[in-house]
Structure 1
Amino acid sequence: MFIAGRAFLSGEDCVFAAGIESRKVAIRTALKRSLKHSAGLLKRVVFVAFPVSIIVFVLIDMGTFDALSQYSGWMPLPP
């Protein structure tokens, strides 16, 4: 996971620069701004999480984790 994070994220992606506004903003405007600013990050999270979850679901369906818990008696995995 750390290697994938290094590959997909660069140092410039995590810069936090929030401007402080003195006036109140409507909820709809605030939601649009937040979605606009976080769209790239959300897209990358979905493109990583969706394939990983599909792979894990397939492995669960095949019984991989059940077999792993049975064959590794020294590892505390629940059955």
Structure 2
Amino acid sequence: MEIQLLFFGIATDLVGKNTMLYKIEENSTIIELKKSLISNFSGLKNINEFAIAVNEEYADDDLIITHRDVVAIIPPVSGG
């Protein structure tokens, strides 16, 4: 199935774009998506430190992704 990925902050630099359509297996979870992204984009090796949102709501690793979901990859933000 196909989902839309949105990348923010440093994640955009690590994958070279801020959005893409991405194919994953039916009934994949967030943790399976993370593993796939690490496999395809080595720069995302620290993705477990990033927040993941699905359809504008933060998601846990066990959430099942459905067809046409929009998944945002949000790196940690620091400031002062």
Which one has a larger percent helix, Structure 1 or Structure 2? 1
Which one has a larger percent strand, Structure 1 or Structure 2? 2
**TM-score, normalising length: structure 1:** 0.23
**TM-score, normalising length: structure 2:** 0.23
RCO higher in structure (CA 8 A, sep ≥6): 2
Q: In terms of Rg, which structure is larger?
A: 1
